[in-house]
Amino acid sequence: MTEFAPDTGFRKNRKLKDALLRHKAFSKDGLSERLFGLLFSGLVYPQIWEDPDLDMQAMELQPHHRIVTIGSGGCNMLAYLSKAPASIDVVDLNPHHVALNRLKLAAFKHLPGHTDLVRFLAMPNERSNSQAFDHFLSSNLDRTTRAYWNGRKFGRRRVTVFNRNFYETGLLGRFIGAAHLLARLHGVDLKEMTKTRSIREQRQFFDEQVAPLFEKPVVRWITGRKSSLFGLGIPPQQYDELASLTADQSIAPVLKHRLEKLACHFPMSENYFAWQAFGRRYATDDEGPLPTYLKRQHYEVIRANVDRVNVHHASFTELLTKEPAASRDRYILLDAQDWMTDQQMNELWAEITRTARPGARVIFRTAAEKSVIEGRLSASIRDRWQYFEEKSKDMTALDRSAIYGGFHIYGKNA
């Protein structure tokens, strides 16, 4: 478990700067990159926005598998634990995500039971949660993580955010809140989506209330600017990929299409991503599902396997360079490659290829539909991997989070 600096901003976070910055500071692109970096230096994702059920289906997880994944909000690495893999290494460049992942692991291990876990991690307006932290979790955290959650922001301890609504915080939580406000200013209450009881009703609400918002001048103006979408965690490179999908280089049609999938392709009773987007919370027992890692049926096995996880403040490549050859089985890259230069991507895949056992799998998402590694990896690396193209297309259609253009699966040749 690597140490991290809990209050390091973008200026001092060399790991994040190395991953993000490509252009000179005072160029247009350079200023855009640095603005995104400043925003990305705080907590970004209180919840991860990749569907873990899809991940586990694509990876075909087995008990002997050793996994490396990017942490983000921490939901998915906990979901993977429901399959009791041999080990999970979690990496993240953002120290706030590192602290969140470690807190979630401690909550599973040290809170008294499943009800206490759900109250702490999923339910809003539970004012006893900071007391539960003090009583059960604080003394069981490493020194740096404990200092992070006991640290103060705007005069209050960070951990008190769990007394309110944790999912309204972070860069993404605030962005969703701003979208709700903008919709209300146009007479639309997005929370009404949570009252629908069928896909037909969801479709009607989307077509009549949500879709017209994308034609509003202010919405088109906002979506036409890279910086306005940094709140979705979309860096400048990803914005350009999305804009390339439309004739007029506007991403409003792309966002509308993906929000339509989120709203209309899966029942609200089965999609906790839609609950967060439209309801700004998780559903109660009689309304819909909790995330996979919080479901009661997975609680005991996840709790029993928490110690198989190590969380590192490091990049994917940085971690793998320290690991033995042929030592890992599954790699989850989220959408990190959308940020990468060709050199960074080849360095990453060189280490993946070196550390991967025969039959290993890599999964990742992309903002656009096509796989970003095609035509960019050196032939000596690319030839070692098979692309499961048809299965990848099928998986893309099944992704409940709906925000990505492509889901991609690669397997190492024997």
333-391 pLDDT tens trace: 999 998 888 999 999 999 999 999 999 999 999 988 999 999 999 999 999 999 999 99
pLDDT, mean of residues 122-144: 97
| pLDDT value of position 37 | 54
pLDDT, mean of residues 316-321: 98
Q: Does position 33 have pLDDT exceeding 60, yes or no?
A: no
| pLDDT value of position 68 | 98
Per residue in 161-220, pLDDT tens? 999 999 999 988 988 999 999 999 999 999 999 999 999 999 999 999 999 999 999 988
* Angle (deg, nearest 10), helices 389-398 and 52-59: 160
| pLDDT value of position 252 | 82
Per residue in 220-241, pLDDT tens? 888 876 666 655 656 666 666 6
Q: Would you state the structure tokens that stand for residue 224, as one six-digit string?
A: 């036409």
Q: Does position 16 have pLDDT exceeding 90, yes or no?
A: no
How much of the chain, in percent, has pLDDT values that exceed 70?
A: 84
Confidence band of 328 (pLDDT split at 50, 70, 90): very high
Per residue in 63-101, pLDDT tens? 999 999 999 999 999 999 999 999 999 999 999 999 999
Confidence band of 253 (pLDDT split at 50, 70, 90): confident
Nearest to 80 by CA among 236, 232, 306, 271: 306
- Please indicate whether residue 30 or residue 119 has the higher confidence score (pLDDT): 119
| pLDDT value of position 243 | 66
| pLDDT value of position 413 | 95
3-state secondary structure the chain: CCCCCCCCCCCCCHHHHHHHCCCCCCCHHHHHHHHHHHHHCCCCCCCCCCCHHHHHHHHCCCCCCEEEEECCCCHHHHHHHCCCCCEEEEECCCHHHHHHHHHHHHHHHHCCCHHHHHHHHCCCCCCCHHHHHHHHHHHHCCHHHHHHHHCEECCEEHHHHHHCCHHHCHHHHHHHHHHHHHHHHCCCCHHHHHHCCCHHHHHHHHHHHHHHHHHCHHHHHHHCCHHHHHHHCCCHHHHHHHHCCCCCCCCHHHHHHHHHHHHHCCCHHHCHHHHHHHHCCCCCCCCCCCCHHHCHHHHHHHHHCHHHEEEECCCHHHHHCCCCCCCEEEEECCCHHHHCCHHHHHHHHHHHHHHEEEEEEEEEEECCCCCCCCCCCCHHHHCCEEECHHHHHHHHHHCCCCCCCEEEEEEECC
Nearest to 249 by CA among 236, 239, 234: 239
Q: How far apart are CA 347 and CA 328, in angstroms?
A: 17
Which CB contacts under 8 angstroms, 24+ apart, belong to 280-289? 280/165, 280/167, 280/168, 280/173, 280/176, 280/177, 280/180, 280/191, 281/124, 281/165, 281/167, 282/122, 282/123, 282/167, 283/194, 287/194
Nearest to 180 by CA among 296, 259, 67, 72: 259
